[in-house]
Structure 1
Amino acid sequence: MKDKIFRLRLLLRKINNYTSTLVLAVTIFVITLAGIQTFYPEFKVENGQIRVLDQHFLALHLLITLLVSVLFFALLHFREREKEVLDAAARDSLTTLLTRSGFDDAVNRFLNGDQDQKSKAGFFLMLDIDDFKQINDVHGHDVGDQVLVTLALNMESVLGSDAIICRNGGDEFCAFLPGKDADRIKRLSSLDQVFSAKSKQYPFTVSIGYVEYPRQAQSETDALTKADLALYVVKQHDKNGFQQYHRWMKKSDRKHLGLTLREVADNLPVSFLICGMDEDKSILYANQDMISLMGCANLKDFLSYTDRKMDHVIYPTDRPKVNMIVAQAVANVNRKSQRPEIMTFRLLTKDGRPLKVLAKGRLVRDPRDGLVFYVTILDMATDLLADQAVASKD
């Protein structure tokens, strides 16, 4: 639905451009004909009727007027095409929002305009989509593009027509919001944003950092730097929120964010798997150790081999036992004290080998994906060899 709205808005924008050009061309035709008639009248309007004085000269007048109008229309067309080329360079091809260079130009025109200093006040925003890489990895880049377009439409709708908005690159956006109304930032942060994948609706969230201009920043560059610092404070505190810049935020604070949650998961000394508890028990994420344990080259290879289903990770004869344990965990998910599930079973590796593992899982309720099963997996053969090696050294 949002994709259709997006295409309709593009069509309306083009129709508006061409309609304006056509109206101007018709106006030129009328003005040119009226000018010729003023000096060399060849028809008169009497009693609501047109009386032609000389048909030959009238035809010549109409021809001259038509040629002048066509010439003017052609000039307008080439000018419009030039404007479209320049506009295309200043706009992102996917979302039709401004590019960063187009954003800088628009903000400079606003801040350097003739209005008084008070009317130049506003807020600079930096925002990005939480866990966007995971959306691309799990659902594909086509869905990722849809998420970007959805967010662009939502930003235009919530921030208003006076806002200057751009896609800064990837899933990062920035905006300038004129005025003193910061409530629009809060509304954008709390907006229920969703995308569709395989006929299902999935919510997604954004993190926003912002700074007040000119009270907290001296220039656009300074403002965006400070808004970026505020954004990373949000990312540090569970994401899905908004934060205004404060003086205690320093560039050094970003060092604490050097390890992202994905980097932590990928570098844990254990295989790690996350599954949704939908009908297919869809795989939401697997770290590199898990991918290697299954004998796959990368996440794409792993998701292709397993068809994104948890059951396809497990050796067929062990699936009933694992499903029974998971079903018991689902039945007990609302208990206050929930113990992690510990189980042994065999993986079905890509080359067909059964691989005995020890798994420890915890079922949680996630606001975005519903029930989610987090599982750590240890290769029992490798772990046993490691224990024996340590024992021999002792």
Structure 2
Amino acid sequence: MHSQKIHNKKLILPVLIFLAGCLALAAVLYHSYRTNLKHMRAVTELNATTYAERLQNDMNRGVAITDTLEEIVLSENGKIDNFQKVAGNLMTDFVQSIQIAPNGVVTDIYPEAGNEAEKIDLIHDESRGEICRYGRDKNIVTMQGPFDLKQGGRGIAIRNPVYLECPDGTSAFWGFTIVIIRIPEVFEKSVQSLTQFGYDYCLTKTVSPLSDDTEVVSASGNILKEPITFEFEFCGSTFGLEVMPTDGWNHGWNILPQLVFGICIILLLTGLTVIVLVVERHREILKKMAITDPLTGLLNRKGFDEQLEKVIQDGHCIHCVGAQMDIDDFKFINDMYGHVVGDTALKSLAQDMKDNFGVNAILCRNGGDEFSVILIGTTEEEAKSIIESFTLKPRYITYNGEEHPFYISLGYAEYPKDCDDVLELIRCADMALYAVKLHGKHSCSPYSSDYKIQHRSQLGFALQDVSKNLPGAFLIYIADPEDDRILFANRELIEFAGCKDFDDFLDYTGQRFRNLIHPDERDSVETSIWKQIDAKTSGNNDYVRFHFAKKDGSYRPVLDHGRIVESRYYGNVFYVLIMDCALIESFYDGFSR
């Protein structure tokens, strides 16, 4: 359960890595966006500065015309001969008209056609007077507009005040040289280049040097969002150039490749983490399989030794009790009931070990029906009652719907009371178990210092080995006249009966001993047997002669010699040797000769 919780916690790791990756990707994309935005704004600011200078240069072409007229006026001492010819030479495609206004009154306009009404007194004009007086008094070039032109379109007036030098060295106001420029024609090349370069723009201007009101001079027509603004002063007016990329501030920043690449990296890292966890999980499973008994779920001997060594290294073995146990007559259980039932007994005992000895114990199945236990931090006195209760606990197996009891024997020892090395505990416990076996099984016993620490020898024979090689036919059946059920028959008896195997033998006999006796002799033979049993109570019965019924329908004279024994599992049972009379007679005939 604990390892499962740890495994479940580890499964959260890929989710955390995925979420962390998403957050990191979002941070990277945001940083990329901000970096791109900062770069775009820096480039746009540089372009706004550049194009603002170009716009100033465009407007300076209009100012230059007024400067040229001023030079002529000054050179001619206040006169301009052939104005129409001079203005015609100065005329260009972005100029609506060229004018002169001696004493502030417009007298000449080029071209005259369509501009007759423009000959007005600028100084005293209601809409133009204030700014003209301001330019005159400050001796600065002023701009006014934009305003609608009568000829169509929009324009801006550039007025250059001209002063003549008097004989006394003072300056006297002569008038204005004036150019009306058309917008946005004056900026046509600049704004066309700006839009072709991928920018939207809006150029604004204060209507005059005496007002903070602004009007749009020229614009691309699209709404600008968070534009770069560059302001500059020109001819007393404040211009503002707002610029932003036509494709928006994300221009040049493509999120899709970065997003796809980032997601691929996240999925790759998440996948690698999952693979690492799966490999680690499989490694843990394989490691657990390598040290775990697959049938009972307990440690195998390798796992037991590793766990014990770890406990020793950690210094937890101040006191501990080691126990060694096995199932009494386990081979008989397997032979009588089959290995499935035997496995059930093993698993039942293993579960009892888990339930009784708790988590502070090392539990092991050594192999077969042998089990080992190390109780950590426990003394023999503290463990005695638990071990005795565990040993004597009733245990059952089920076969053909009937419950049959099975028992265990257990030996135990304490460290450091019984040995100087924890690793010797199981050997001490094994000697104690051997003593239990010698004294009748189904019990538990502590280790005694009288035992010699040595490997316990075993007979090395099993029922199957003995019965298979016994020189004679042998069977076991229940000593009950109402239920003479056959429990076992060795190979020689099965072959003597003419059967293939034990199952065939049981089918043939109906699992009844009496069915091996000639039908005419059954009652007399059974009566003879039970008379002997009643007379002697237990032990050997005399030889009983009868005709043995074979599967092929023939009969062979045999001698039956048996012993009645009390079994913990079945009560009284017969152990019987069946001897072929013909074989015995031939032997004795040969011996007599």
| TM-score w.r.t. length of structure 2 | 0.50
Query: What is the CA-CA distance between 1:380 and the residue it aligns to?
Result: 4.5
**Range with bigger deviation, 24-33 or 203-212:** 24-33
Give the equivalent residue in structure 2 for 1:372: 573
Query: What is the CA-CA distance between 1:101 and the residue it aligns to?
Result: 0.8
Higher relative contact order (CA 8 A, sep 6+): 1
**2:338 corresponds to which letter in structure 1?**
G
- Superposition pairs of residues 112-123 of structure 1, within 5 angstroms: 112-115=313-316, 117-118=317-318, 121-123=319-321
Give the equivalent residue in structure 2 for 1:48: none
Give the equivalent residue in structure 1 for 2:418: 216
Cα distance change, pair 32–124 in 1 and its aligned pair in 2 (3 A): farther
Deviations 1:187-224 (A, max 9, x none): 22112222222222222122222221232123354222
**1:95 corresponds to which letter in structure 2?**
T
- Superposition pairs of residues 292-307 of structure 1, within 5 angstroms: 294=497, 306=509
The SS at the match of 2:314 is: coil
- Superposition pairs of residues 54-93 of structure 1, within 5 angstroms: 68-93=269-294
CA contact (8 A) 1:206 1:240 kept: yes
Give the equivalent residue in structure 2 for 1:138: 336
Q: Distance in 2 between the 1:14 and 1:324 partners?
A: 66
**2:349 corresponds to which letter in structure 1?**
L
Cα distance change, pair 316–230 in 1 and its aligned pair in 2 (3 A): farther
Structure 1: 5+ residue runs without aligned partners?
1-11, 43-55
Deviations 1:77-127 (A, max 9, x none): 221111111111111222222121111101111111144x52xx2222222
Give the equivalent residue in structure 2 for 1:104: 305
Query: Which one of the candidate residues 537, 540, 559 is aligned to 1:338?
Result: 537
Give the equivalent residue in structure 2 for 1:154: 352
Cα distance change, pair 128–25 in 1 and its aligned pair in 2 (3 A): same
Query: Which one of the candidate residues 173, 191, 195 is aligned to 2:393?
Result: 191
Q: Distance in 2 between the 1:114 and 1:33 partners?
A: 46
Query: What is the CA-CA distance between 1:72 and the residue it aligns to?
Result: 2.5
The SS at the match of 1:112 is: helix
Cα distance change, pair 91–254 in 1 and its aligned pair in 2 (3 A): closer
Query: Which one of the candidate residues 533, 540, 556 is aligned to 1:354?
Result: 556
Give the equivalent residue in structure 2 for 1:8: none
**2:11 corresponds to which letter in structure 1?**
L
Q: Distance in 2 between the 1:243 and 1:166 partners?
A: 19
Query: Which one of the candidate residues 371, 377, 396 is aligned to 1:179?
Result: 377
**1:313 corresponds to which letter in structure 2?**
L
Give the equivalent residue in structure 1 for 2:513: 310
Q: Distance in 1 between the 2:430 and 2:415 partners?
A: 14
Query: What is the CA-CA distance between 1:357 and the residue it aligns to?
Result: 1.7
Q: Distance in 1 between the 2:528 and 2:4 partners?
A: 60
CA contact (8 A) 1:358 1:379 kept: no
Query: Which one of the candidate residues 294, 300, 324 is aligned to 1:126?
Result: 324
Cα distance change, pair 297–63 in 1 and its aligned pair in 2 (3 A): closer
**1:190 corresponds to which letter in structure 2?**
L
Cα distance change, pair 107–40 in 1 and its aligned pair in 2 (3 A): farther
CA contact (8 A) 1:158 1:184 kept: yes
Cα distance change, pair 321–62 in 1 and its aligned pair in 2 (3 A): farther
**Range with bigger deviation, 140-149 or 347-356:** 347-356
Query: Which one of the candidate residues 11, 16, 20 is aligned to 1:22?
Result: 11
Pick the structure with more helix per residue: 1
Cα distance change, pair 251–107 in 1 and its aligned pair in 2 (3 A): closer
Identity %: 31
Give the equivalent residue in structure 1 for 2:405: 203
CA contact (8 A) 1:28 1:69 kept: yes
The SS at the match of 1:182 is: helix
Query: What is the CA-CA distance between 1:344 and the residue it aligns to?
Result: 3.6
How many residues are paired up?
358
The SS at the match of 2:521 is: helix
**Range with bigger deviation, 311-320 or 130-139:** 311-320
**1:130 corresponds to which letter in structure 2?**
D
Cα distance change, pair 389–367 in 1 and its aligned pair in 2 (3 A): same
CA contact (8 A) 1:358 1:380 kept: no
Q: CA RMSD in A?
A: 4.3
Cα distance change, pair 13–307 in 1 and its aligned pair in 2 (3 A): farther
CA contact (8 A) 1:100 1:166 kept: yes
Residue 446 of structure 2 is aligned to residue 244 of structure 1: yes
CA contact (8 A) 2:321 2:374 kept: yes
Q: Distance in 2 between the 1:307 and 1:148 partners?
A: 30
Structure 2: 5+ residue runs without aligned partners?
32-254
Q: Distance in 1 between the 2:524 and 2:397 partners?
A: 35
Q: Distance in 2 between the 1:245 and 1:272 partners?
A: 39
Cα distance change, pair 106–259 in 1 and its aligned pair in 2 (3 A): closer
Query: What is the CA-CA distance between 1:135 and the residue it aligns to?
Result: 2.0
CA contact (8 A) 2:517 2:548 kept: yes
The SS at the match of 1:83 is: helix
Cα distance change, pair 387–92 in 1 and its aligned pair in 2 (3 A): same
Q: Distance in 1 between the 2:302 and 2:454 partners?
A: 28
Q: Distance in 2 between the 1:260 and 1:363 partners?
A: 21
CA contact (8 A) 2:14 2:270 kept: yes
| TM-score w.r.t. length of structure 1 | 0.72
Give the equivalent residue in structure 2 for 1:5: none
Query: What is the CA-CA distance between 1:321 and the residue it aligns to?
Result: 4.2
CA contact (8 A) 2:409 2:441 kept: yes
**1:174 corresponds to which letter in structure 2?**
S
Q: Distance in 1 between the 2:510 and 2:453 partners?
A: 43
CA contact (8 A) 1:134 1:285 kept: no
CA contact (8 A) 1:165 1:176 kept: yes
Q: Distance in 2 between the 1:34 and 1:353 partners?
A: 92
Q: Distance in 2 between the 1:175 and 1:239 partners?
A: 19
